[in-house]
Chains A and B, each alone.
Chain A
């Protein structure tokens, strides 16, 4: 709040050629200058009205004068004293955009003036970032996706240089490859010539080795890349390696940080990489915007009516959402320290899947919904209740610009999806119901599942993950991106994508179903924390799932009435029995009263600095005060600086009150 007005407004690069004095910012600056008695040419665009001397009275006059100058009517609640000139201009633009549709996206995307400037993390990125600090149970030191696939006909002498060159061109084309996350949870895109901007390529040459050596080396590399992902805080978010194998074969290994790349990006990036590999001179259509432009455009979203309407929609449903599937567990997630997630995998051939797809389209159900329904049925049987809360991963890129779907980045968001499987229904009825419900929920996706989950956890009084069972399907993405990816990899030969190996690690997930396409095949995977489940139960559930989906190739699979539990809600666990969603909560001490000592005051001041609200009680809760997990990581950093003691993030989150954190500091000393 104390920064002083400094630099004069620098006009942003603007595609339209508007005379300077007619630009909205300039006209608004004149109004500010008159109200605040400033030089109109020196009104900073990023300092609040308040800091420049404005008050609520002047803000009422401000909206009146904006109305007179632009014919845009602003609600008084919109023109808060904390507003900056930039924010005001964005607000006026949103209000003045004509042709309002039913769902006008209240965001405008333009290239940022400084392409290397920091920008914030999207909600799911924040979740991954905090997970990476070991913030919650079921966390890993990196959230990442590992993939390797086979290459045939590799020119072993030219391949390394060709790959390095292609990656360099890819990093030029897609600035997200140059992304770094800052230690306090923001992000930026490095300039192309910055050291380390281009992801390094490592080559492992096994061409002259014996078969058993090759197998061992490959196994070791996979294990290493699976259990340690790229760390975009300190280095590139993309780890590229090439192994050269005997007989002109090879493998391409990719480690991708989920903090920087989502599932869609893995496909888009692979597609671009192959294009550069196949042709030394390939020039892809230039991207007009980057991920930072997209995220910055979303910044104003949270004050928009559309966002608030979506939030109200969700808030009104939270208290009636079902519980997550009460799956029996063999360990408390709090007590396990997984390194990698286990996989159960099945592939459908092109013919079989074509039959399933035909049956789906006959019934107006997407293949993804069919998968979701089959997954839900299995979970209901496994958990013993038929109303379930699932978490789904959505690749919801808001269509703010034609290039948005070609950009790589961490666009993905989670969305909670309640499932209600009425016993006695046919599979077709269940699937149609699921399709309708997904559509209804996706229509309110301006608020992300991360934000909804925070509120849900608050209302349920839990500190455990509220959506530990995840559904993710990218079926149809290949088609959406313009058909199948080419297999020509230039000096790297031909790709053999059906010969692949992969590994996913996402925090706060107990079990995740992933559905994707590889070449002609459709693949489904259960990724799970093995330490939590009885292996036989997982195998049985997975087999049931495959059988249900497989049967969908015939009409009989759709008219079948799946056996479902009668109970809609989970029953209470017996003594000592561990069930997902019904785990005991850590008892939190209740603190109350004024701040008791210097240490509590220091903690309170760190809270106040970050949250900009007074902290008057030792029982004041960081999250109730408006904090989120990302800010919690920043609080830990600030406390370490102020007190010389680092409180583990997970401890901070376990009792995020002033007194609780002060206790942790004492314990850590």
Chain B
């Protein structure tokens, strides 16, 4: 019998696409769960199942309900959690999955969740956190260029995309050294602070217009295989950075989601204005320079898509496939470090949501 794959948060944008791609690839039987049963049912009905595929199970699951969570994980080979917000979920679903003997894939989590879960590793189960676009692809695709020793690597990720209020709060929470350091670069294994300024109206390969690039050395970027790393969050205008900065200026570092929530509408409306003005687009650009005298090789990755939420679903499905294929080492990992960048790139290239993925 084919393995059972449980997709949580299936009625959201990420979950819907993840379930769709898992079904289309015929990776296994599906169980979908969401807070709202009716919405989850609707997703289940629209899945592109093979004619002989068993019916899709649907469960209503409230992530705060331990019993419901345990029931959902029961019998799964892998639990694919697309629900957020990440700051509240942390490793909660992962623990439930491991307790039920299932492997786990999570769209969020970052270092906080990975490290929290690591102490519970039993040498058998796998958990993959941050298996979305950013973090996720933003750390994985640069590794396509790591075929020779690299002196410098830069990543530019962003575009114009709408924010939900949940994702706006998540964005407001990405502050503090568990996430990254603004204006810093990574040189010879250490953070070099206060060296990079914002780039205004910068022309970047793959981006359709001049962009605003803000240096933010994520913890993910600090693991990239190059002597020097620069990482930029890229926006179509100053609106979103200004909204985030205003909130951060008024609150101390470490402010809670509840304290930040009142600022979310400004972030959402900034993002809406960007999309209204420029249209939706999302680009991930990686540029690398080899050590002098190094062998020839690729120096640039460009991935273009319309938005990152749906694309995260594709990445989640790819992560689930990697887990099921049995090629991953047991333990608690981040997607960027655990997945095979070349295998994921092949999946992305075949996906209609990806307009371009080139390595040159």
Q: Which residues of A are at the interface with B, using a C-beta cutoff of 8 A?
A: 1-2, 48, 50-58, 60-61, 64, 76-77, 80-82, 593-595, 597-598, 601, 612-614, 616-617, 620, 624-625
Contact of B183 among A50, A595, A598, A625 (CB under 8 A): A50
Q: Decide: A595 near B245, CB < 8 A? Known: A50-B194, A50-B197, A53-B194.
A: no
> Nearest residue in B to A618 (C-beta to C-beta)?
B299
Q: Contact: A595 with B197, CB < 8 Å?
A: no
The distance from the CB of A201 to the nearest CB of chain B, in whole angstroms, is 50
B134-192 at interface with A (beta carbon < 8 Å): 154, 182-183
Tell yes or no: B50 within 8 A of A by CB.
Answer: no
Extra contacts besides A58-B249, A81-B198, A82-B197 (9): CB < 8 Å: A50-B183, A54-B194, A56-B245, A57-B248, A81-B197, A594-B287, A595-B289, A598-B293, A614-B202
Tell yes or no: B330 within 8 A of A by CB.
Answer: no
Chain A residues within 8 Å of B293, by CB = 598
> Nearest residue in B to A619 (C-beta to C-beta)?
B205
Tell yes or no: B352 within 8 A of A by CB.
Answer: no
Q: Contact: A56 with B241, CB < 8 Å?
A: yes
Tell yes or no: B199 within 8 A of A by CB.
Answer: yes
The distance from the CB of B207 to the nearest CB of chain A, in whole angstroms, is 11
B33-83 at interface with A (beta carbon < 8 Å): none
Q: Contact: A52 with B194, CB < 8 Å?
A: yes
Q: Contact: B360 with A593, CB < 8 Å?
A: yes
A58 to B252, CA, bound (A): 11
Q: Contact: A56 with B182, CB < 8 Å?
A: yes
The distance from the CB of B85 to the nearest CB of chain A, in whole angstroms, is 22
Chain A residues within 8 Å of B246, by CB = 60
The distance from the CB of A374 to the nearest CB of chain B, in whole angstroms, is 44
Chain A residues within 8 Å of B300, by CB = 593-594, 616
Chain B residues within 8 Å of A77, by CB = 238
Chain A residues within 8 Å of B299, by CB = 594-595
Q: Which residues of B are at the interface with A, using a C-beta cutoff of 8 A?
A: 154, 182-183, 193-199, 202-205, 214, 230, 238, 241-242, 245-246, 248-249, 285, 287, 289, 292-293, 296, 298-300, 360
Please name 27 pairs of A and B residues whose Cβ atoms are closer than 8 Å in the assembled complex, sorted by A. Answer: A1-B195, A1-B196, A1-B197, A50-B194, A50-B197, A51-B194, A51-B195, A53-B194, A54-B194, A55-B183, A56-B182, A56-B214, A57-B249, A60-B249, A77-B238, A594-B205, A594-B298, A594-B360, A598-B293, A601-B292, A612-B197, A613-B202, A614-B202, A614-B204, A616-B154, A616-B287, A617-B205
> Nearest residue in B to A61 (C-beta to C-beta)?
B249
Chain B residues within 8 Å of A624, by CB = 203
A51 to B197, CA, bound (A): 9
Q: Contact: B154 with A614, CB < 8 Å?
A: yes
Chain B residues within 8 Å of A76, by CB = 242
A55 to B196, CA, bound (A): 10
A380 to B214, CA, bound (A): 52
Contact of A616 among B205, B214, B238, B292 (CB under 8 A): B205
Chain A residues within 8 Å of B214, by CB = 56
Chain B residues within 8 Å of A58, by CB = 249
A613 to B196, CA, bound (A): 10
The 4 closest A-B pairs by CB, nearest first: A594-B299, A60-B249, A594-B300, A57-B248
The distance from the CB of A648 to the nearest CB of chain B, in whole angstroms, is 26
> Nearest residue in A to B285 (C-beta to C-beta)?
A616
Q: Decide: A53 near B197, CB < 8 A? Known: A595-B299, A614-B154.
A: no
Q: Contact: A613 with B199, CB < 8 Å?
A: yes
Contact of A601 among B194, B202, B285, B289 (CB under 8 A): B289
Chain B residues within 8 Å of A612, by CB = 197
Contact of A53 among B193, B203, B296 (CB under 8 A): B193
Chain B residues within 8 Å of A597, by CB = 296
> Nearest residue in A to B214 (C-beta to C-beta)?
A56
A52 to B296, CA, bound (A): 39
Chain B residues within 8 Å of A57, by CB = 245, 248-249
A601 to B202, CA, bound (A): 19
A61 to B245, CA, bound (A): 10
A2 to B193, CA, bound (A): 10
Chain B residues within 8 Å of A598, by CB = 292-293
The distance from the CB of B276 to the nearest CB of chain A, in whole angstroms, is 21
A624 to B203, CA, bound (A): 9
Chain A residues within 8 Å of B285, by CB = 616
A2 to B287, CA, bound (A): 23
A624 to B293, CA, bound (A): 29
The distance from the CB of A458 to the nearest CB of chain B, in whole angstroms, is 13
The distance from the CB of A53 to the nearest CB of chain B, in whole angstroms, is 5
> Nearest residue in B to A601 (C-beta to C-beta)?
B289
Chain B residues within 8 Å of A56, by CB = 182, 198, 214, 241, 245
A57 to B183, CA, bound (A): 12
Chain B residues within 8 Å of A52, by CB = 194
Q: Decide: A2 near B205, CB < 8 A? Known: A60-B246, A60-B249.
A: no
Chain B residues within 8 Å of A55, by CB = 182-183
Q: Contact: B203 with A60, CB < 8 Å?
A: no
Chain B residues within 8 Å of A53, by CB = 193-194
A601 to B294, CA, bound (A): 12
The distance from the CB of A526 to the nearest CB of chain B, in whole angstroms, is 43
A55 to B300, CA, bound (A): 29
The distance from the CB of A527 to the nearest CB of chain B, in whole angstroms, is 40
The distance from the CB of A598 to the nearest CB of chain B, in whole angstroms, is 5
Chain B residues within 8 Å of A617, by CB = 205
A624 to B210, CA, bound (A): 11
> Nearest residue in B to A595 (C-beta to C-beta)?
B299
The distance from the CB of A318 to the nearest CB of chain B, in whole angstroms, is 18
The distance from the CB of B190 to the nearest CB of chain A, in whole angstroms, is 15
Chain B residues within 8 Å of A64, by CB = 249
> Nearest residue in B to A620 (C-beta to C-beta)?
B203
A48 to B183, CA, bound (A): 13
A595 to B214, CA, bound (A): 23
A620 to B193, CA, bound (A): 28
Chain B residues within 8 Å of A2, by CB = 195
> Nearest residue in B to A604 (C-beta to C-beta)?
B289
Q: Contact: B204 with A616, CB < 8 Å?
A: yes
> Nearest residue in B to A64 (C-beta to C-beta)?
B249
The distance from the CB of B299 to the nearest CB of chain A, in whole angstroms, is 3
Chain A residues within 8 Å of B248, by CB = 57, 60
A50 to B199, CA, bound (A): 13
The distance from the CB of A70 to the nearest CB of chain B, in whole angstroms, is 19
Chain B residues within 8 Å of A51, by CB = 194-195
Chain B residues within 8 Å of A625, by CB = 203
A247 to B182, CA, bound (A): 79
The distance from the CB of A501 to the nearest CB of chain B, in whole angstroms, is 51
Chain A residues within 8 Å of B289, by CB = 595, 601
The distance from the CB of A449 to the nearest CB of chain B, in whole angstroms, is 24
The distance from the CB of A145 to the nearest CB of chain B, in whole angstroms, is 40
The distance from the CB of B241 to the nearest CB of chain A, in whole angstroms, is 7
Chain B residues within 8 Å of A82, by CB = 197
> Nearest residue in A to B301 (C-beta to C-beta)?
A594
The distance from the CB of A74 to the nearest CB of chain B, in whole angstroms, is 14
A594 to B204, CA, bound (A): 11
Chain A residues within 8 Å of B196, by CB = 1
> Nearest residue in A to B213 (C-beta to C-beta)?
A614
A644 to B194, CA, bound (A): 33
A77 to B200, CA, bound (A): 11
